Amino acid sequence: AGTEPNGTPDVLEPGGGARPGTPLLTVRGLHKSFGDNSVLRGIDLDVRRGSVTALIGPSGSGKTTLLRSLNGLSIPDAGRITAAPSAHPSGDPGTKTEGGDAPLTLDFSRKTTKRQRFALRDRSAMVFQQHNLFPHRTVLQNVIEGPVQVQRVARADAVERATELLERVGLGEKRDAYPHELSGGQQQRVGIVRALALRPELLLFDEPTSALDPELVGEVLTVMKELADEGWTMVVVTHELQFARAVADEVLFLDGGHVVERGAPRQLFREPREERTRQFLHRLL
């Protein structure tokens, strides 16, 4: 599995066929302040290939900032992020920046370069709270934009892959529709496809259902669950505790910029060790 007859890794397979369970990202001692506001206060996180990590916690606890740090959208003040060598072969259009052969370490206590941050960013793709689709472009055009413009993938290849991905999430028929012709849930599924089209090793979700009407939440969570079942590596900021409980391998409860508690969902939701976790869950469950 993971290898096509011509010997190149199957790029449709999550992680390019790298072994599940091996470390993908290692985060140590991450700190971030906005002025006097200390938002991350020493965060450690291990993301393993094929795992789903859920970040939960009250509003303002630092979840989004942590998530954005994982792909260079937010630059921490201190701490380290190490990414394992890319699972894609060097020269793959998706990963033609550095980082293909050696681990990539960003030490934020020193100065990181733009090149390092881009190399980190290229390992993942983010699904935002709002889908951010271009309104005057069709679904297909939105999906192939990144691969064609940024990754220099041949247009025909990008179209083929986009079509396949859209069919997979039940949107094959909507290929030539414009975003406003879709429901919020369909738009968000396109947002997910747009992320998948970049062939990331890591999918980052920032409250992907929080802007949706309640009746549209389910279809998006279903797609996310399918991706998890397929073996995609995912880090998800979510208020959907039922989803976290059902799908996550590890749940981190953040409060005040600290990971107050972490564990398997069964343990954390049923028998939280910390009083703060208990109070938070009690309010929401």
**Other C-beta atoms lying within 10 Å of the C-beta of residue 273:** 12
59 binds ligand ADP (CB under 6 A): yes
> Using the rule CB under 6 A, is 69 a contact of ligand ADP?
no
248 φ, ψ (degrees, to nearest 5): -70, 145
* Interaction mask 192-231, ligand ADP, x per CB under 6 A: ----------------------------------------
Rounded least distance, CB 207 to ligand ADP, Å? 8
Name the residue nearer to ligand ADP (CB basis): 35 or 91: 35
- Which region among 58-66, 90-98, 127-135, 137-145 touches ligand ADP (by CB under 6 A)? 58-66
**List 24, 30, 47, 61, residue binding ligand ADP (CB under 6 A):** 61
CB atoms inside a 10 Å sphere around CB 128 = 16
DSSP 136: T
Which residue of 63, 131, 174, 189 would you call a contact of ligand ADP, by CB under 6 A? 63
Which tokens go with 230?
Answer: 């397929």
In the list 62, 99, 200, 272, the residue contacting ligand ADP (rule: CB under 6 A) is 62
Q: What is the smallest separation between the CB atom of 257 and ligand ADP, expressed in angstroms?
A: 8
Taking the least distance from each CB to ligand ADP, the nearer of 34 and 134 is: 34
The interface region with ligand ADP, picked from 60-68, 122-130, 165-173, 186-194 by CB under 6 A, is 60-68
Contact range with ligand ADP by CB under 6 A, out of 53-61, 163-171, 174-182, 217-225: 53-61
Cβ nearer to ligand ADP, comparing 143 with 236: 236
60 counts as binding ligand ADP under rule CB under 6 A: yes
Task: Compare residues 12 and 281 and give the one whose CB is closer to ligand ADP.
Answer: 281
- Residue closer to ligand ADP by CB (options 68, 194) is 68
Residues found in the chain:
285
Q: What burial letters (b/e) apply to 196-232, b meaning 16+ CB within 10 Å?
A: bbbbbbbbbbbbbbeebeeebbebbbebbeebbeeeb
**Parallel, antiparallel or unpaired: strands 23-34 and 37-48:** antiparallel
- The whole-angstrom separation of Cα 88 and Cα 18 is 9
Site for ligand ADP in 28-47 (CB under 6 A): 34, 37, 39
Strand partners, 234: 52, 203
* Alpha-carbon gap, residue 42 to 63, rounded angstroms: 13
Report residue 73 CA to chain centroid gap: 12
Q: Which amino acid, one-letter code, is at 138?
A: T
C-alpha torsion sign, points 47, 222, 270, 21:
negative
Which residues contact ligand ADP (rule: CB under 6 A)? Answer: 34, 37, 39, 57, 59-65
